[in-house]
Amino acid sequence: METLRISCIPTLQIPADFGKTQSKKFTFLGYKQTLTSSFSLVERHKPSFKTFTTKSSSITTETENPPAPQVETQTQDEKFDWYAHWYPLMPVCDLDRRVPHAKKVLGIDVVVWWDRNESTWKVFDDACPHRLAPLSEGRIDQWGRLQCVYHGWCFNGSGDCKFIPQAPTDGPPIHTSKKACVSAYPSTVQNGMVWFWPSSDPQYKDILTEKKPPYIPEMDDPSYTCLMANREIPYGYEVLIENFMDPAHVPYAHYGIMQTQQPEEKADREGGRPMDLYVPKIDINGFTIEERNSGQSKFMSPCLFYTSLFGPIDNSNGAASSGKPYGFLKPPGTEKVSSAQRGQKRALLVFFCVPVSPGNSRMISTFPINFGISVKILPRWIYHIRHNLVLDSDLYLLHLEERRIMDAGITQWQKACYLPTKSDAAVVGFRKWLNKYAGGQVDWRGKFTGVLPPTPPKEQLLDRYQSHVVNCRSCNAAHKALSVLKVVLQVVSFSLLGIVSAIKEGVLSSVVAKTALLATALLCFAGSKWLAHFIYKIFHFHDYNHALV
């Protein structure tokens, strides 16, 4: 079977020994696959409700078998609260326990650090109460406390100030004042990621006992390999999620990078084709996306877009737990991958789209897979090469698209954008959820004016080093190692040339010996030049000219 590449899974490759019989069942939103999920997904059937499609520039519905509405009636208490949900900050594999890390979510600046006294990750407000210096620029002292390096104030894992160097030892214990404490956010580690609750109000101190982050059992199953990735994205949360929900853009925006299902008769070079997508129902928790007679995917508000590949839908997992957001996701330890699923070849797509600030978002992705030897052998940075290439191939398009949407006005989205085909049903579904329940945009609580940051030069916009490499331990280590190798090759090259020119005649009278040294020097020099180009293209900037591919 031909190597499969999907816009959502740029690093996922399906082995050639995957049987033809199985491959015929493989379909999801325009790609051949059969969907399975640990979410409580409904069984596929002909809908007996209004379906959500796109027939004009305005949002419309098309009735098949009335009268069940697609969007549930909103009550006064069904307004989506952006600050009443867990948000992922970073994969644990990309966090260094030796140093604090600065992160931003919903416009909130936080510092993530490892508390070795409690053996857990902590999330604090990234401001020292003394003079508001960033704690993320600080250090972890010899007693395992977070220290502000501006004046040396130290804090324990609860945010309590434990030491003020400037306070006299025989004076009042001013470090015990509440004003000396740092705001600590509820946090937890789940599915290999650090999560935080975006409120430091004491009433949420034990929120984890009442409400947990969405849990995906395959990510913790040892029979699956999970390749985690993260990237800071220079366009907003809304556009990021929409892009994952839009399979129709793949053969065009990612042409030459990924292969898609081709129609029998191609109307153009890329082989785009009609897609019969629909959204059965939208509620405050999100919605399901289906392609008729094919697969499903789920958007789980506010961050999660999830689907799985191969095998039948298993409705025995993730049974609904009524009354709570994410209720159809069971908490860790209560939901397991079924024995039937363990015997199947399965690959899952999991995307977390995190709102950072206007015009900026963070993507955390993983592709749990229970087959394929190379996935377990090769380092993560090898897979991140294609992952970043796919992101960059439409990044500039989406960055400009977001600005044009903002120029038109967020309330005018459905008028400014013309979406006449069913392939856009998922995107329109997301906008309808956003308008119906979430106020049409992320609630920044007055922290921003709503104006997007200016567009930088393209090379800066697509810079991979600051947006990914510095935040990825695997790519960062590879970048450093290859940079050292480049310098070593240069030193060897010039050293060999120096040796040849410095040694007197007769010592290297053999033409063969001289030629070998010169050839080695030239090869080392050429290797260093190629390596410099490789490092720049893979870890810094790789342009993508759609007109020339």
Distance CA 152, CA 154 (A): 6
Distance CA 216, CA 331 (A): 9
Residue-number span of the structural domain to which 447 is assigned: 217-314+344-455
> What tens digit of pLDDT does each residue of 240-263 get?
999 999 989 999 999 988 877 788
Plot region of 196 (φ>0 → left; ψ -120 to 50 → alpha; else → beta): beta
Q: Are residues 291 and 434 in the same domain?
A: yes
pLDDT at site 6 = 36
Q: Is 486's pLDDT higher than 50?
A: yes
Q: 448: which 2 tokens?
A: 């921003």
Closest CA to 121 of 86, 95, 155, 148: 95
How many domains in the chain?
3
Contact 30, 273 (CB under 8 A): yes
Q: Are residues 298 and 422 in the same domain?
A: yes
What are the residues whose beta carbons fall under 8 Å from the beta carbon of 461, sequence distance 6 or more? 234, 395, 396, 399, 455
At 108 the three-state DSSP class reads strand
Q: Is 30's pLDDT higher than 70?
A: no
Domain assignment of residue 188, yes or no = yes
Distance CA 55, CA 96 (A): 50
Output the DSSP codes for 207-256. Answer: GGGT------GGGG-TTSB---EEEEESS-HHHHHHHHT-GGGHHHHTTT
Q: Are residues 202 and 134 in the same domain?
A: yes
Domain assignment of residue 286, yes or no = yes
pLDDT at site 25 = 41
> What tens digit of pLDDT does each residue of 399-448 get?
999 999 999 988 888 889 999 999 999 999 999 999 999 999 999 999 99
Among 455, 487, 514, the domain boundary falls at: 455
Contact 391, 231 (CB under 8 A): yes
Among 140, 175, 209, the domain boundary falls at: 209
Q: Are residues 410 and 525 in the same domain?
A: no
Contact 275, 423 (CB under 8 A): yes
Q: Is 46's pLDDT higher than 50?
A: no
Q: Is 195's pLDDT higher than 80?
A: yes
Among 161, 191, 209, the domain boundary falls at: 209
User: What is the mean pLDDT of the segment spanning 62-68?
Assistant: 35
pLDDT at site 17 = 42
Contact 136, 129 (CB under 8 A): no
Candidate ranges 67-71, 287-291, 512-516, 528-532; pick with highest mean pLDDT: 528-532
Q: Are residues 389 and 521 in the same domain?
A: no
More confident residue, 312 or 213: 213
What are the residues whose beta carbons fall under 8 Å from the beta carbon of 308, sequence distance 6 or more? 35, 36, 37, 38, 218, 346, 347, 348, 349
CATH number at residue 246: 3.90.380.10
User: What is the mean pLDDT of the segment spanning 383-401?
Assistant: 95
Domain assignment of residue 23, yes or no = no
- Side chain identity at 186, as an amino acid letter? P
Candidate ranges 1-5, 132-136, 221-225, 373-377; pick with highest mean pLDDT: 132-136
Q: Is 15's pLDDT higher than 80?
A: no
> What tens digit of pLDDT does each residue of 325-356 get?
333 344 455 455 554 455 677 788 899 999 99
Domain assignment of residue 103, yes or no = yes
Domain assignment of residue 302, yes or no = yes
Q: Are residues 247 and 120 in the same domain?
A: no
Domain assignment of residue 66, yes or no = no
Q: With 0-12 CB in 10 A as exposed, 13-18 as middle and 19+ as buried, what is 278?
A: buried
Q: Are residues 441 and 481 in the same domain?
A: no
- Side chain identity at 549, as an amino acid letter? V
Contact 193, 200 (CB under 8 A): no
Band of pLDDT at residue 372, cut at 50, 70 and 90: confident
User: What is the mean pLDDT of the segment spanning 110-138?
Assistant: 97
Q: Are residues 374 and 429 in the same domain?
A: yes
What are the residues whose beta carbons fall under 8 Å from the beta carbon of 314, sequence distance 6 or more? 36, 37, 38, 338, 340, 341
CATH number at residue 99: 2.102.10.10
Contact 468, 384 (CB under 8 A): yes
Band of pLDDT at residue 297, cut at 50, 70 and 90: confident
Q: Is 26's pLDDT higher than 60?
A: no
Q: Are residues 495 and 418 in the same domain?
A: no
Q: Are residues 138 and 235 in the same domain?
A: no
**Mean of all residue pLDDT scores within the chain:** 82
pLDDT at site 337 = 58
Domain assignment of residue 548, yes or no = no
Domain assignment of residue 463, yes or no = no
Band of pLDDT at residue 70, cut at 50, 70 and 90: low
At 356 the three-state DSSP class reads strand
Q: Is 67's pLDDT higher than 50?
A: no
User: What is the mean pLDDT of the segment spanning 460-480?
Assistant: 97
Q: With b meaning 16 or more CB within 10 Å and e meaning fewer, what string describes 43-81?
A: ebeebebbbbbbeeeebebeeeeeeeebbeeeeeeeebe
Band of pLDDT at residue 61, cut at 50, 70 and 90: very low
Q: Are residues 352 and 234 in the same domain?
A: yes
Q: Are residues 200 and 256 in the same domain?
A: no
